[in-house]
Chain A
Amino acid sequence: MRALEFEVRSGGTIRIDLEKCESCETKACVKMCNATGMGQILELKDGVPALKHSLEEVKRGACTEDLGCELDCELYGNRAIVITLPVSKLDDYLENSSEQPTYLREP
């Protein structure tokens, strides 16, 4: 599978499934990323998203982790982007908790 994957400053990854991008008509992620106040790290290259900066620069903070690419791709694109942002030790807490969090329970 052709994919663009890169790490971000806070510890996490952004993965873009470029095969899905090929048939995407909107390229919403690139538009969003280049909007005012956003990260401005994506550009179109050969019809699919590519990084304007090196992987190192992106990881150092060039990506502002605004999450706009993933959310706009979900709404207007081909659902090609997955941002994974682990919360260190949160799983430990959930495993050790005697009660389930409310989002897993039914009213």
Chain B
Amino acid sequence: MARLLEYQGKALFKRQGIPVPEGRLVQSVDEAMNAIDELGFPVAVKAQVLSGRRGKAGAIHFAEDRDSLSQAVRELLGKQIQGSPVEGLLIEEKAEVQKELYMAVTADPSTRQPVGIFSPKGGVDIEETADTEPAAIFTTPIDILRGFYYYDAMDLLRQVGGLESREMLTLANLFTRLYQVYREYDCKLAEINPIALVEQGAMALDARVDVDDDALSRQTTLDIDFAEEAGERAATLLEIAAATIDESDHRGTVHFVQTDPDASYARTAGKIPVGLDAVGAGTGLTIMDELVPLGYYPINFCDSSGNPVGSKFYRITKVIMAQPQIEGYLFVSCVSSQQLDNAARGLIKAFKELYPRTGGQPNIPCVVLFRGGWDDVAVDLFREHGISDGRWIKVLGRDTTEKETAEIFDALYREWKKETGGLQ
């Protein structure tokens, strides 16, 4: 999933005729001062990060004059909001809001079709509303072949109650435009929270647009970097680099996500950060389950599937090993039909380049487990290239379980730590 920043989402809304407050994206105090000459006070100063609940996180300020604007810009730029650095601010006219509402179109996996969602309780977390006040959420399934029309939106809004006729007409019009955004940009979610009723009608005060990453190849105008879904935060540079591996090569896939990009969670929990590559997502989860109780935390998840070519394994190994916090590495395959000798060649080439002085023998504890097609050849290749002779690597074959693999890694790590004292 590729999530757009608020200002990008609002640009799409504007293109479809959904009113948004007049605003400017700025990256410095000087730019903010120039923007205010066009916008005038008061303004909202909003950090452009992908995480939700920005209001609660202190990512939205209001400014009445140049001093308070300058202070807000200085305070927000460069700040970390829920792990994401603030690189841009949206400065926009502050709207005089009479009522805040919620409107969205999203995909409903249970019915395999889009669903329109409306709530009179806008401006708050919709998941929270769903829990505490389910009666305040109104939905309508949308037949994707038929489309979503003005009268469909009116049917939904009539159920809400408390809306004046004029408000319903305005909102129904916006609802159909929001559906157009959803369809035209291949969204998984197009959400306005809040949509504000103002004197001149209604406008989107926020925008959340999640684009289906399978459609990015045809959404070239959006100019967004593809990366695996990483929840509420923006993709890291390393995740973006990893996503390029599959970009022009359909032969197998490598899915890479940093579960703990700066290893802060691992450190706080008293765990040792390690890098992980798994052939098969289930094996990835199983080895995680075995490693965590022993005191290790994989700070990335990686699943190589569909019999990737050796070059993909080479590239993803370099990506995983680029994480500066890792104190160990594991490659674990399920009993797979993949041609594991190719996986081995990818790993061997990467190790030899990363550790040229030792001929590929790593300086941190590494455990490599081959189970499946050509696993015996894979094990032999590590031996032939002299990497298995390394002090801090164990190359295992198909008789080894995930539990045993984790235990072997644990023993190797303890020995490494005792003997070397760990990395400098």
A100 to B364, CA, bound (A): 14
Q: Report the bound CA distance from A67 to B317 in whole Å.
A: 14
Chain B positions within 8 Å of A102 at CB level: 321, 324, 326-327, 363-364, 423
B244 contacts the other chain (CB 8 A): yes
| Chain A residues within 8 Å of B325, by CB | 99
* Contact in complex: B309, A96 (CB < 8 Å): no
Q: In angstroms, how far is the closest chain B Cβ from the Cβ of A35?
A: 10
Residues of B within 8 Å of A12, CB to CB, are: 311
User: How close is B347's CB to chain A, nearest CB, in angstroms?
Assistant: 10
Residues of A within 8 A of B363 (CB): 102-103, 105-107
Q: Is A75 an interface residue (CB 8 A)?
A: yes
Task: Name the B residues within 8 Å of A93 (CB-CB).
Answer: 237-238, 241, 322
Chain A residues lying within 8 Å of B244, measured Cβ to Cβ, are 87-89
| Distance between Cα atoms of A60 and B312 in the complex (Å) | 16
B345 CB contact (under 8 Å) in A71, A87, A88, A89: A71
Is there an interface contact between B311 and A8, defined as CB atoms closer than 8 Å? yes
Range for the number of chain B residues in contact with chain A? 35 or more
Q: Which residues of A contact B134 (CB under 8 A)?
A: none
Question: Does A66 lie within 8 Å of B309, measured CB to CB?
Answer: yes
Q: Mark B123-144, 1 if CB is under 8 A from A, else 0.
A: 0000000000000000000000
**Within 8 Å CB of B318, what residues of A?**
87, 90
Given A9-B251, A10-B249, A85-B314: A105 touches B424 (CB 8 Å cut-off):
yes
Q: Which residues from chain A sit less than 8 Å from chain B, CB to CB?
A: 8-12, 37, 61, 64-68, 70-71, 75, 83, 85, 87-90, 92-94, 96-97, 99-103, 105-107
> Top 3 closest A-B pairs, CB basis?
A107-B420, A99-B324, A65-B311
Can you report 24 residue pairs joining A to B where beta carbons are below 8 Å apart? A64-B251, A65-B251, A65-B310, A67-B311, A67-B314, A67-B342, A67-B346, A68-B310, A71-B345, A71-B348, A71-B385, A75-B384, A75-B385, A85-B315, A87-B319, A89-B244, A90-B322, A99-B324, A103-B321, A103-B364, A105-B423, A105-B424, A106-B363, A107-B420
Which residues in B have some Cβ–Cβ distance to A below 8 Å? 237-238, 240-241, 244-245, 247-249, 251, 309-312, 314-315, 318-319, 321-327, 339, 341-342, 345-346, 348-349, 354-355, 362-364, 374, 381, 384-385, 416, 420-424
Given contacts A61-B251, A83-B349, A102-B363, could you give 6 more A-B pairs where the C-beta distance is less than 8 Å? A9-B309, A67-B310, A90-B241, A93-B237, A99-B325, A102-B364
